[in-house]
Structure 1
Amino acid sequence: MRYWPLLLALPMALAIGGTAQAVVRVHIDLSAQRMYVVSSSGSYVWPVSTARRGYRTPRGSFAAKSLQRLHYSSKYDNAPMPHSIFFSGGYAIHGTYATRSLGRPVSHGCVRLSPGHAAMLYDMVRREGARISISGGR
């Protein structure tokens, strides 16, 4: 009987010490050209632009590897990539000023979002981390 207080305290200790940290879940559907986001601040669905014909956006599951508030592409004429979230090599989710193209595959492989949505996602991922999944096709 003297172990009951310990047994009762164990679940509470695990609950306090083992609390899972929120992680932003990002899913990109290449077929629909949509991004689905679930975070502690809410759920969102945003249009994106991914790889056009002749290029590819990698499919699979990824972690956010690095974040850069403003990155310039060394490969594509120093093009600005605001609120970049790199997830695989040189591939990133980032803002674009070509918002009329959102919802269609037009990029060289990155996942483009409107500047406002990119800033929101960047802040969520900076606070919570992220798991990114990409699936679908043309």
Structure 2
Amino acid sequence: MRRCVFLAGLLALALALPGSAFAGVLAQISLGSQRMQVYVNGEPVYNWPVSTARRGYRTPTGTYKPYHLARRHYSTIYDGSPMPHSIFFHKGYAIHGSYETKHLGSPASHGCVRLHPSNAAALYGLVQRYGAGNTTIKITH
């Protein structure tokens, strides 16, 4: 009995320690560099150009969890523009594919985070595989 209590205590301590293994997806977006770094289980796997908000619009900064995934979505605000592989994270803002690939790497959106369609599909697949609860989206200046 004492051994079980001891092992349970060790397990609780290991789970509470900072830096314990993170199993999941982290999409880290830098507004300054217009890049997204994607980590899986703490290991870097992708580094892609993005387009975030152009002048007069804003991309929210902060740390978010996806709340809705849509393989095929069309904007209800901007003339039905296609938003393939959308990952919604905050009040209608999403990470999604864009066919305006010539603008990737510079601010060009109304606030969403745009990716090349194939990169959006790859990120969408990771979020599906690991789950929205194990996915973090972090947007910094």
Q: Does TM, scored on the shorter chain, surpass 0.5?
A: yes
Contact 2:37–2:44, Cα closer than 8 Å, also in 1: no
3-state SS of paired residue (1:109): coil
Q: How much has 1:3 moved relative to structure 2?
A: 2.9
The two structures have a TM-score, normalised by structure 2, of 0.83
| Structure 1 consecutive aligned stretches of length 4 or more whose deviation exceeds 4 Å | 18-21
What CA RMSD, in Å, does the superposition of the two structures yield over aligned residues? Answer: 2.2
Which amino acid letter does the alignment assign opposite residue 81 of structure 1? Answer: M
In terms of fraction of residues, the more strand-rich structure is 1
Equivalent pairs: percent with the same residue?
A: 52
> Which stretches in structure 1 are left out of the alignment for 5+ residues?
none
Matches within 5 A, 1:48-59: 48-59=50-61
Count of aligned pairs between the two proteins:
131
* AA of the residue aligned to 1:10: A
- Can you list the C-alpha shifts for 1:10-40, whole angstroms capped at 9, x where unaligned? 378x49xx79772211110000000011014
Which of the numbers 64, 75, 78 marks the counterpart of 1:76?
78
Please say which structure displays the higher CA radius of gyration. Answer: 1
* Distance of 2:7 and 2:118 partners within structure 1: 46
The reply to whether residue 121 of structure 1 matches residue 123 of structure 2 is: yes
Which residue of structure 1 aligns with residue 66 of structure 2? 64
TM-score normalised by the chain length of structure 1: 0.85
